[in-house]
Amino acid sequence: METRATTEQTKSLPSLLQRVPAVAWVLLALIAFFAMLAPGFFTLGNFLNIAVQGSVLMVLALAATIVILTQGIDLSSGAILTFSGIIAVLSMQAGLPAPLAMLAGLLTGLACGALNGFLVSWALLPPFIATLGMQGVAGGLAVVLSRAGAIYADAPFFTFFGSGRLLIIPMPFVVAAVAYLCTWVVLYQTPFGSYIFALGGNEAGAALSGVRTKSWKFGVYVFAGLLAGVGGVVMAARLRAADPIVGVGWEFDAIAATILGGTSFEEGRGGIAGTIAGVALIAVLRNGLNVIGLATAWQAAVIGTIIIGAIVLDVLLKRKGILK
């Protein structure tokens, strides 16, 4: 009787709660845990700090999400971020006004994405190989152009996007919110978005129905490259410098946030709504571990363990029908 009652109670959970991914519950648990251990964690100032820290990751995770929705992968976003920031700063040092220099950074990201798209769509290289190659190209050029050292920029218009505020809201968060809104419109309100899901769901079927799959896939990587360029410009503005290794490993955090958010490598399942929770979990985790003073050497292991645990928990709860 107790087992039956428990089952009925589980089935009667509100539909809304059943649709909340496991990552959201893990995120809430982490916030409560860090708030108990470090009184300074649960403050407005620290949450604004988390928002700033997670903003660039949010932009990169949006790029990772739309690529993964097509059953692709982009291993070059961190390198493109670095390269775009360096081009923006070098352009300012060459005498370009800050707005034009920032535009140069964005166009750099777009161009790298276009090359990725060409290699994947028309050269028919596997996304893993094409973007891994671009990671090496963009990362190598970043080191060469910067002469393996940080290059600095302090133009007020430029640095405003990294450290300025709109009322009390940090500008990096504003940029991430605008990037999210634009991606949401593209993904859910345009034919391009419909084709993104079609590419992931059944690319061969979409091609047989007359969809120009190569062109739309090319567009996906162009858009992803542009987002990486946005992340690179914001990162450089925040640091007031472009560093040739600043983006190393960011592509893996972006992919992890996407998977945590429920986007699957198969059949074009997922979306950018869950990506927010994935980014928030990683940003809160990194911030919380710093606040409680955990040694840096241990942080990577702890973060990896919690990310894997959150994904496994989500899969298990969905299999048992507790989550949808």
Tell whether pTM > 0.85.
yes
Q: How far apart are CA 283 and CA 294, in angstroms?
A: 15
CATH of the domain at 107: 1.10.3470
Kindly list the distances between the CA atom of residue 55 and the CA atoms of 41, 49, 134, 178, 234, in Å, as whole numbers in the listed order. 18, 10, 24, 11, 9
Instruction: Give residue for tokens 């690179």.
Output: 232
In angstroms, the CA 154 to CA 160 distance is 10
The string of pLDDT tens digits covering residues 277-292 is 999 999 999 999 998 8
Domain assignment present for residue 193? The answer is yes
Side chain identity at residue 221, one-letter code: Y
pLDDT of residue 307: 86
pLDDT for position 296: 83
Report, as an integer, the average pLDDT of 207-234: 94
Confidence check: pLDDT of 14 > 70 = no
pLDDT tens by residue, 169-195: 999 999 999 999 999 999 999 999 999
Q: What is the pLDDT of residue 117?
A: 97
In a domain, 13, yes or no: no
pLDDT tier at 313, thresholds 50, 70, 90 = confident
CB 82: neighbour CB atoms within 10 A? 30
Asked if residue 98 belongs to a domain, the reply is yes
Does residue 10 surpass a pLDDT of 50? no
Instruction: Count structural domains, the chain.
Output: 1
**Is residue 324 in some structural domain?**
no
- Is the pLDDT at 93 greater than 80, yes or no? yes
The reported pLDDT for the residue numbered 262 is: 85
Share above pLDDT 70 across residues of the chain, in percent, rounded to a whole number: 91
User: Which has the higher per-residue pLDDT, 322 or 8?
Assistant: 322
Q: Is residue 273 part of a domain?
A: yes
